[in-house]
Structure 1
Amino acid sequence: MRTRLIAASALSLFLALVASAKGAKTVQLTRAEYEDRVQAVWTAQIIAVLMAWPHEHQVASTVWLENFPKRYTAAPVDDDWYYEMCAVRAFERYGIHLTVEQLGRQWLENHCGSWGSSEQARLNLEKGVKPPDTGHPRYNKLWFTIGPQFSSDVYGALAPGMVNAAGRMAREYGHLNGYAEGTDGAVFMAAMVSLAFAEPDTKQIVRHAARLIHPDSPYRKCLDMVIAMAAAGQSFEEIVGAVENRWHIEYPATNNAVPNGGIVAASVWFGNGDFLTTVNLAARAADFTDADCNAANAASVVGAMHGMKCLPKHLVAQLGDRIVGDRMGPVTLTPPVDEKISDLAKRTVVIGEKILLANGAKLVGESNLPLTSPGRGTAPDRAPNSSPPPEGQRVGSATSAKPRAASLLIPIEGPVAQPAELFSLADLMRYWNPDWTLERAGFGGAGGGMSGIRGITYLDGDVLATYPRDEVRGLVLRRTLKLRERASLTFQAGVDAGRAWELNVYANNKPVLKRVIDGGEDSGRNWQEVKIELNEFAGQNVTLRLYQRVLVAEKTPGNAYWKGIEVK
């Protein structure tokens, strides 16, 4: 049975919009209301993932979903909420002024990072790379994917109504496992959850959350497409089809941030605050998307709007108020997870209260008079290097919680666009070899939740991996310089086993090399030495062009790998 929309009159149980002396809008939440809605954020994303899981990186749903595909007695641990659980632990350990480097330490301790950009972040941490570099394109080849996006709902829950504070946390902590488009997604999702505590209209939630993203960002351009088409009266199906046709072609991986973010925006917009409608929209949006993560992000917004009563009771009951598990994919979690969802909500609220008070919220009694609370929200609970609380004594647990004031009076922030955080694949040349330019590189689809997809452009130490955006025109490395009397171009060209690509080299308009770089049947990566004499161009200004062409007859296309390129 479809969950009914929460009646407008029922919102008064959760939300009281009042005007302060200066005319600014505020939201007033009792601690019980705050806990209920935070618990719904956690629970909603878990239920949504379990419902939409069969459609993750698979074909879309075509039937109405209202049950889990199998019976559960507890929620399994999953990356959609485990990384957020570890963020809560990090706040408890280091306080509300948590840094991304401290969050990285928590990730190492708890073994976060099983798949995608999060796995790349974990591998970087284990190699000694420090955040925020762990998410930067220099070190993380999947920086543009969904990792920060699906693990940022918690930052909205920690800053209800304070959309800019939520966005700042999402950007900073999202740099652990992403950058640019990846962290734009984190900001958008955190902003929607934050706004959902104070805004009853899902259309306004999407509009206002989008404003935090800089207009030049591809992510913002995708959101603007969704909003403009919806405002023009086009249907959900028309909008998600347009998003996929425009942006999934640009970002072929099924776990990319931009088109998946557009699907989440459309699901929230057209879901109108109804849980099952919202989840079903995300599950049926398009084939080969990150449907479970999309459903979770969209459902978290609904949970923040309405609290636990909006969630299907028969699905909530199957979770048993518990998250349990000791592994995620190839990674053993330390320690194993066995936590009550309701306790997780209480702990989140304790941290959230401190963040809110540090950003201008007030504790008020039943008469709305301020209650004094010296020093609250101005410093971390512990020094940065202190140990976590003993088991059973975590901040916010039943054994440590203290009585709270009747309500939090929270000033509602208007969204302010963050500075642009932009990165193009051509920018990789800053780190590989700035004498050369990279043109027509493609994001590719490898590492996107489906095995065997060809091609992706990234850096791996001193190796540049490339795949063209346009398989017909290919990709080109270019350099213009004046040659000395005797000169040669040398480099190594690599290919994966079972794949091939064609190397074409031009000096000005003259083709000087054409060679198929074939990986053969051997395992591992095959390297070939390339040396091209350029003596006939001595003393001239020469433009060197190195093309990667991937449409080779009777061969499977694959990445090109380049290293050690020199003109000497």
Structure 2
Amino acid sequence: MKSILLPALATLCLVFSCSPEKPSIQDKSQISLDKRTLQDKIKGGWAGQTIGVTYGGHTEFKFNGTMIQDYVPVEWDSTSIEWWYDNIPGLYDDVYMDLTFVRVFEEYGLDAPVDSFANAFANASYPLWHANQAARFNILNGIRPPQSGHWMNNPHADDIDFQIEADFAGLMSPGMANTASTISDSIGHIMNYGDGWYGGVYVAAMYSLAFVSDDVKWVVTEALKSIPEGSKYRRCMESVIASYEKYPDDWKQAWFEVERNWSEDLYCPDGVFVPFNIDASLNSAYILIGLLYGEGDFTKTMDIAMRCGQDSDCNPASAAGILGTMIGYDNIPEKYRKALRPVEDRNFAYTDASLNDLYRMSYEQALEVVKRNEGKLSDTAVQISYQAPRPVRLEAGFEGHYPTRKAWIRKTIEQVGSFDFEGKGIIFKGSVTGPEEYVALVDMYIDGKLAESVKLPANHNTRRDEIGFKFNLPHGRHTVVFEWKNPAEGVKIQVTEALVFGNVPVQDKQYIQ
């Protein structure tokens, strides 16, 4: 599997003096695809993602910090996807989040401002979690992108969110990884920053390169050039590639290497001090393990990405989407396409569009992107001006912050009184329960100074899962006091726990005496 998808491999070799064993493409190389092939690949990307998320749906976050053993079965038949559509349609948040952004391009064109994308997903009716939900809250409360995804405003900035919804950027940028990165810059920073953003940049770049090569190793390695050297995210991906080269027949050994070196989730409020890990770096590593060890086999790729655990529906979705783009819809095994056909005309939950709509919109947008980037269209073919991937800028969130303590509080906000801690950052987790229309007004004071004045809705779709948080404090002793300004009958604000961050990692094991 080492051919470049040109009219003929020989043409590429004549122009660039490469051998079939070691294909290479230079920046601005002109790559031709017939329109039917382009269409089939875009369709394969969306189909692969939908199949992959279904394949792992029954295991999502049930295996945290452990692989899913070989004896755990995956049942599949012609009704598998339809069942999830009918019973748990929220499984497809991977796809309908993408669809939100594709729809904005459809309505406003390629020059749609970032606020159009931010407003579309912030005001959508579907529920969100983690970085997406924090960004929705920020946007609805006047914190616009890119600040809505910045780690100072979003404790979930390193989470997987943009990684699972960046597919659209690669699928509309065939062979143009830098264009995919540009699209990812504006939209990805709506909800993520640093490593969380890099997850989406890398996934989009792999999709983009899957249009021009069927060499999986080349695609994942070349796409990694989109990520700046020195970033933790890139070092993690490089370690997976190194493990593959050292243990080419043992994906489980590669998994163990990832667990040993990269499995700390240091910042997500739900992943600190517990096995749950929704960090983009770790879950990207699982995508990469699936792609490399899957060796171009559709089922094997999905299965390995799923069996790595953690976000084990999203990871096979990304891996199968990238591979689906590479091989095209028509080469996805029939048993999966058979399950897909009954739903291809059905609108996704919370949307007015279906997979067939996605196939069409992404194809039309890809043609426009090709034309804008020195490409050409004829009646039957597209000529793509290939872009050799260049690294995006280096950025890192939560620098100098290290989790040192989890304090269980489990009190109402009135019962908390004052809370003392030593460190430079703190997150209070909790919830507001009451009538959907109720919005709590809460001030958080640190050392007698107002640190945050926030509106906390009881409504699940517009909620914030953190009662209060603050980073970049001077390291030392601090006292936190909450003031609930509009208490009401039948409303409760529960503060469940506090996560404290210091300025140095905890190196020594600490035992409860």
Check whether TM > 0.5.
Answer: yes
Matched residue, 1:58: 62
Structure 2: tracts of 5 or more residues without a match: 17-25, 403-420, 432-449, 454-466, 483-491
Query: How far is 1:14 from its partner?
Result: 10
**Which amino acid in the other structure matches residue 285 of structure 1?**
C
Q: CA deviation at 1:346?
A: 1.2
User: Does the 8 Å contact 1:52/1:295 carry over to 2?
Assistant: yes
Tell me the CA shift for residue 176 of structure 1: 1.1
How far did residue 427 of structure 1 move? 6.8
**Separation in 1 of the partners of 2:187 and 2:33?**
26
Give the match for residue 220 of structure 1: 234
For 1:180-218, what per-residue CA distance to the aligned partner results, in whole angstroms no more than 9, with x for missing partners?
Answer: 111100000000010001111111111111111111211
Report SS of the residue matched to 1:409: strand
Secondary structure of 1:90's counterpart equals helix
Say if 2:231 is the partner of 1:243: no
Contact 2:428-2:495 at 8 Å conserved across structures: no
- Report what 2:495 is aligned to: 525
What's 1:482 paired with?
Answer: none
Establish whether residue 257 from structure 1 lines up as the match of residue 280 from structure 2: yes
Q: CA deviation at 1:229?
A: 1.8
Task: Pick the aligned partner of 2:46 from 42, 47, 51.
Answer: 42
Equivalent residues of 1:192, 1:206 under 8 A apart: yes
- 2:375 aligned partner: 361
Hey, what does 1:67 align to over in structure 2?
Answer: 76
Match of 2:225 among 211, 232, 236: 211
Specify whether residues 102 and 112 from structure 1 end up closer, same or farther in structure 2 by C-alpha distance, changes over 3 A only. farther
Partner of 1:230, secondary structure, is helix
1:132 equivalent to 2:146? Answer yes
The separation in 2 between residues aligned to 1:232 and 1:180, in whole angstroms, is 29
| Letter of the 1:318 counterpart | A
Distance in 2 separating the partners of 1:227 and 1:73 = 36
Write out per-residue CA displacement over residues 142-180 of structure 1, whole angstroms, 9 at most, x where no aligned residue: 111010000001111101111111122123211111111
- TM (norm. structure 1) is 0.65
Q: Spell out the pairing of 1:76-115 with structure 2 (5 A cutoff).
A: 76=89, 78-111=92-125, 114-115=128-129
Whether the aligned pair in 2 keeps the contact of 1:100 and 1:132 (CA below 8 Å) is no
2:197 pairs with 1:183: yes
Change (3 A) 1:553 1:270: closer
Alignment partner for residue 409 of structure 1, among 383, 407, 419?
383
| Structure 2 length-normalised TM | 0.72
Comparing 277-286 and 68-77, the one that deviates more? 68-77
**1:315 deviation in Å?**
2.6
Distance change in 2, residues 1:294/1:236 (3 Å) = same
Q: CA separation of 1:443/1:222 partners in 2, compared to 1, >3 Å: closer, same or farther?
A: farther
Structure 1: tracts of 5 or more residues without a match: 1-6, 327-332, 365-404, 429-435, 448-458, 468-474, 480-488, 495-521, 529-543, 555-568
State the Cα deviation string for residues 255-313 of structure 1 (Å, max 9, x = none). Answer: 21011011111111111222101000111124xx1011000111111111111123232
Q: Which amino acid aligns with 2:330?
A: K
Match of 2:133 among 99, 112, 119: 119
Residue 21 to residue 112, structure 1, CA distance change in 2 (3 Å): farther
- Equivalent position of 2:364 in the other structure: 350
Would the alpha carbon gap of residues 194 and 137 (structure 1) be closer, same or farther in structure 2, given more than 3 Å must change? same
Q: In structure 2, which of residues 304, 307, 311 is the aligned counterpart of residue 290 of structure 1?
A: 311
Give the superposition deviation at 1:100.
2.1
**Letter of the 2:54 counterpart:** L
CA pair 341-70 structure 1, distance change in 2 beyond 3 A: closer
In 2, the alpha carbon distance for the partners of 1:39 and 1:460 equals 49
Cα 1:408–1:134, aligned 2, differ >3 Å: closer, same or farther?
same
Report the counterpart of residue 310 of structure 1 in structure 2.
331
Closer, same or farther in 2 for the Cα pair 1:248/1:8, shift >3 Å? closer
Structure 2 partner of 1:505: none
Change (3 A) 1:83 1:552: same
Q: Relative to 1, partners in 2 of residues 1:361 and 1:241: Cα closer, same or farther, differing over 3 Å?
A: same
161, 168, 173: which one aligns with 1:159 = 173
How many Å separate the matches in 2 of 1:247 and 1:157? 29
**Relative to structure 2, which stretch is displaced further, 354-363 or 310-319?**
310-319
Q: Which residue of 2 aligns with 1:299?
A: 320
Distance change >3 Å, CA 184–CA 131, structure 1 → 2: same
**Which amino acid in the other structure matches residue 461 of structure 1?**
E
Q: CA deviation at 1:347?
A: 1.1
Contact 1:223–1:265 under 8 Å retained in 2? yes
Provide closer, same or farther for how the CA distance between residues 274 and 99 of structure 1 changes in structure 2, counting only shifts above 3 A.
farther
**1:72 shift after superposition:** 3.9
Structure of higher CA gyration radius: 1
**Whole-Å Cα distance in 1 between the matches of residues 212 and 302 of structure 2?**
21
Q: Deviations over 1:497-532 (max 9, x none)?
A: xxxxxxxxxxxxxxxxxxxxxxxxx9723999xxxx
The alignment yields a C-alpha RMSD, in angstroms, of 4.0
Distance 2:428 2:55 in 1: 29
Q: As a proportion of its length, which structure holds more helix?
A: 2
8 Å CA contact retained: 1:42, 1:341:
yes
Residue of structure 1 equivalent to 2:479: 491
- Kept in 1, the 8 Å contact 2:429–2:468? The answer is no
Contact 1:113 1:120 in 2 (8 A): no
Counterparts in 2 of 1:193 and 1:437: CA distance versus 1, 3 Å? farther
**Structure ranking higher on relative contact order (CA contacts 8 Å, 6+ apart):** 2
- Alpha carbons of 1:325 and 1:277: their partners in 2 closer, same or farther (altered >3 Å)? same
From 14, 17, 31, give the equivalent of 1:27. Answer: 31
Alignment partner, residue 387 of structure 1:
none
Local SS of the residue matching 1:45? helix
Q: Percent identity?
A: 24
The alignment partner of 1:211 has SS state of helix
Aligned residue number for residue 293 of structure 2:
270
Find the residue that maps to 1:28 and give its secondary structure: strand
Match of 2:394 in 1: 420
Matches of 1:178 and 1:302 in 2, distance apart? 25
Maintained 8 Å contact 1:46/1:81:
yes
The aligned runs of 1:534-549 (5 Å cut-off) are none
Matched-pair contact (CA < 8 Å) for 1:171–1:186: no
Aligned in 2, Cα 1:137/1:113: closer, same or farther, shift over 3 Å?
farther
C-alpha contact (below 8 Å) 2:77/2:335 kept by paired residues: no
- In the alignment, the residues of structure 2 paired with residue 273 and residue 445 of structure 1 have an alpha-carbon distance, to the nearest angstrom, of 43
